Amino acid sequence: MGKNGSGKSTFIKTLFGIIKPIEGKLSIITRVTSS
């Protein structure tokens, strides 16, 4: 697991659609999703 503040909770919430990414890229394995 990553360090504190590395975005683990944000990543999981974004992955499950609880929150939507506002900017930046979300990389899942080799697929990159841009917002």
Give 28-33 contacts, CB < 8 A, sequence gap 24+.
none
Alpha carbon distance 27, 30 (integer Å) = 7
User: What is the tens place of the pLDDT at every residue in 10-30?
Assistant: 777 777 776 666 666 655 555
Q: Report the C-alpha gap between 25 and 32 in whole angstroms.
A: 7
Query: Residue 25: which region, alpha, beta or left (left: phi > 0; alpha: psi -120 to 50)?
Result: beta
Q: What is the pLDDT of residue 13?
A: 76
**Residues 17/8, Cβ–Cβ less than 8 Å:** no
Q: pLDDT: is 4 or 26 the higher one? A: 4
pLDDT score for 14: 74
pLDDT (mean) for 27-34: 56
What local confidence, expressed as pLDDT, does residue 12 receive? 73
